[in-house]
Amino acid sequence: MHETITRMMDTYPAEIDDRELLAACVAACVECAQACTACADACLGEESVADLTSCIRSDLDCADVCEATGRILSRHTGGDAAVTRAVLRACAQACRSCGDECESHAQMHEHCRVCAEACRRCEEACNRVLAAIG
């Protein structure tokens, strides 16, 4: 996936600053959205589903924010830097919150552990791009 994202950015007619950093963040967003969606679904299959409602909600919110962030970072024609920064900050926060929630269930549910790891990677990727764009 990361390779396709990078290759697509390489074909872009306009200059893109730090394509590799940006491609890594898009890939982390896509991966996190998938992990969060799958984690929410797995939570719904658990016997203790009532205890996982906050986790499910956090998963779904994070997946939506990650998907939107990945799409916005994939566009490079006349973008608004303020919007990009705001979306990256929102994504990092959604990933932090979801990662924290999933970690609280990680000892009992492997899907929550895997999801928390994906959330941490995405949060870090968003913060790296934020630091690079100022």
CA angle 73, 76, 81 (to 5 degrees): 70
Give the whole-angstrom CA distance, residue 4 versus residue 38.
23
Tell me the domains of the chain and their CATH numbers. 2-133 (1.20.1270.360)
Residue 80 has pLDDT above 90, yes or no: no
Question: Residue type at 16?
Answer: I
Residue 66 has pLDDT above 90, yes or no: yes
Prediction pTM value: 0.92
Residue 116 has pLDDT above 90, yes or no: yes
Across the chain, mean pLDDT equals 92
Quickly state the pLDDT bin for 15 (edges 50, 70, 90): low
Quickly state the pLDDT bin for 4 (edges 50, 70, 90): confident
User: Looking at residue 2, what is its pLDDT?
Assistant: 72
Question: Residue type at 59?
Answer: D
User: First CA to last CA across the chain, in angstroms?
Assistant: 27
